[in-house]
Amino acid sequence: MIRLTDVHKSFGSNDVLRGVDLHVPKGKSMVVIGGSGTGKSVLIKSVLGLVTPDSGVIEVDGVDVTRQPRDAFLARFGMLFQGGALFDSLPVWQNVAFRLMRGALKRPKAEAREIAIEKLRRVGLGPDVADRLPAELSGGMQKRVSLARAIAASPEIIFFDEPTTGLDPIMSGVINDLIREIVVEMGATAITITHDMTSVRAISDRVAMLHRGKIRWEGPIADLDHSNDPYVDQFIHGRASGPIETLR
């Protein structure tokens, strides 16, 4: 489904991606783990074309992403951004239905609102939230709205960038469960970026660890605890000592 081959990306002298190879099979939920600043977000933004790789090939369904018609390509994706990235000036329902009110997927306004309210209900929010502005919602509710927006057009592929950052453990659990349910229910292919190990165990079919710009380890979630990789072991157990350098 999604295949990255020898993808490199630098920002000035900072080599963020140094030859990433990764394959995400269709319908599977891949979680990419790794320390802060290891290029996890750059990785998914490269797939979407928000960041242009310096070299390497990114394919979706065997076709180079740079050769696919842009709008049709993006219409297959949904994305939950780390900070929600909701549009401040639009009420909640228009945020959720944004894609359904413009472009190729445009629907009548009433129908778009109806779908938005249904998607809000799917993420546990009532219709009373629909006409509020994002600034009037709590962080957890904003994350849910962003999740509703990501799934509004029933995309084939969904990216989740740090879906539980800044949330309390209970709300994190709620979001993790929602993501898992939605991915299974829609049969979508998903890539989640996180360093929250609870999320990893709740969401993933497969796990990849990004370290120093390369995929250090990749395998099914069941193998994560006995990967025999000292880097993976240090990361998943949150140890301060080990092969991963830490600033103290």
Partner 1 sequence: MTNPIAALGRAVLGALAFVGRLALFSGETISHLVRPPFYPRELGTALIQIGFYSLPVVGLTALFTGGALALQIYAGGARFSAEAVVPQIVAIGMVRELGPVLVGLMIAARVTSSVAAEIATMRVTEQIDALVTLSTNPMKYLTLPRVLAATLVMPVLVGIGDTIGILGGYLVATETLGFNASTYIKNTADFLEFMDIFSSLIKGGVFGFIAALMGCYYGMNSGRGAQGVGSATKTSVVAAAILILASNFILTQAFFSA
What does the alpha-carbon distance between residue 29 and residue 227 come to, in Å, rounded to a whole number? 19
Query: Of the two residues 98 and 231, which places its CB atom closer to partner 1 in the complex?
Result: 98
Which range, of 57-65, 80-88, 135-143, 225-233, touches partner 1 by CB under 8 A? 80-88
88 lies in the binding site for partner 1 (CB under 8 A): yes
Amino acid type, 114: E
* CB-neighbour burial class of residue 80 (10 A; exposed 0-12, middle 13-18, buried 19+): buried
Which range, of 1-9, 69-77, 171-179, 208-216, touches partner 1 by CB under 8 A? 69-77
Residues 130-169 contacting partner 1, CB under 8 A: 149
Amino acid type, 122: R
Among 10, 18, 81, 122, binds partner 1 (CB under 8 A): 81
Among 77, 93, 217, 231, binds partner 1 (CB under 8 A): 77
What does the alpha-carbon distance between residue 200 and residue 192 come to, in Å, rounded to a whole number? 8
Among 40, 45, 119, 206, binds partner 1 (CB under 8 A): 45
Q: Count the site residues for partner 1 by CB under 8 A.
A: 25
What does the alpha-carbon distance between residue 118 and residue 129 come to, in Å, rounded to a whole number? 12
Closest CA to 206 of 16, 5, 22, 81: 22
99 lies in the binding site for partner 1 (CB under 8 A): yes
Using an 8 Å Cβ cutoff, are 96 and 150 in contact?
A: no
Query: Of the two residues 141 and 207, which places its CB atom closer to partner 1 in the complex?
Result: 141
Among 57, 61, 64, 103, binds partner 1 (CB under 8 A): 103
98 lies in the binding site for partner 1 (CB under 8 A): yes
Cα–Cα distances in Å, from 135 out to 15, 100, 142, 148, 193? 36, 22, 8, 16, 25
Residues that bind partner 1 (CB under 8 A): 45, 48-50, 70-71, 74-75, 77-79, 81-83, 85-88, 98-99, 102-105, 149
